[in-house]
Amino acid sequence: MWPKLLFQVGELLPHIRHLVPLAQKYFDKGGDAAVLTGISESIQSDLGQVKSGHASLARQVQEQNALLGSVGDDVRRLGESVAALDTRITEMDTRMNSAARTIKLLLVASLVSLIAAVGLLIFLAMR
C-alpha cells in the first residue's frame, strides 16, 4: 500500500509544483485584501476626522463672518458719528470766531467810550 501511495504522490508532484505558485498568488491576494481593507478603514476614519475638522472650520468661518458684519456696521456708525462731530466742531468754530469778533468790537467800543468819558471828565474838571 505504501509503495503504491508513494508512486501516486510521485506522479502528482509535477501537478502540485504548478499549483504551488497559484496557491501562493491566492494567499497573497488574501493578504493584499486584508491590507487593503485595513488601509480602507484607516482612510475612512481619517476622512471622518477631516469632515469633522471641516465642519468645525466652516462653523468658525460663519461666526467670523457674522462678527465681521457686526464690526462693519460699527465702523459705519462710527464714521457717521465722526462726520456729525466734525460738522458740529465746524459750526462751533464759526460761532466762536463770530463771538470773538463781537467781543473785540465791544472791547473797542468800551475803550472808546471810556476814553470819551475820561476826556469829558477832564474837560468838565478844567472848566
pLDDT digit string (tens) for 71-80?
999 999 999 9
pLDDT of residue 2: 66
User: Does 107 map to a domain?
Assistant: yes
What predicted TM-score, i.e. pTM, was given to this entire model?
Answer: 0.46
R_g over Cα of the chain: 53
The four Cα atoms 48, 54, 56, 58 give a dihedral, to 10 degrees, of -150
pLDDT, tens digit, for every residue of 85-122? 999 999 999 999 999 999 999 999 999 999 999 999 99
Domain count across the chain: 1
- What is residue 54's predicted lDDT score, i.e. its pLDDT? 85
User: Residue 32: which pLDDT band, with cuts at 50, 70 and 90?
Assistant: low
**67 backbone dihedrals φ, ψ, rounded to 5°:** -65, -40
For residue 78, is it within any domain? no
**Residue 26's domain spans which residues?**
7-67+88-126
In this prediction, residues 60-79 reach a mean pLDDT of 94
Q: What is the H or E stretch that residue 117 is in?
A: helix 2-126
**pLDDT level of residue 52 (50, 70, 90 thresholds):** confident
Grid cell locating 5? 501511495
76 domain residue, yes or no:
no
Distance CA 18, CA 6 (A): 19
Q: What is the pLDDT of residue 101?
A: 96
- Among 35, 58, 54, smallest CA distance to 46 is for 54
CA dihedral 28, 31, 37, 38 (to 10 degrees): -130
The answer to whether residue 36 sits within a structural domain is: yes
Q: Is residue 122 part of a domain?
A: yes
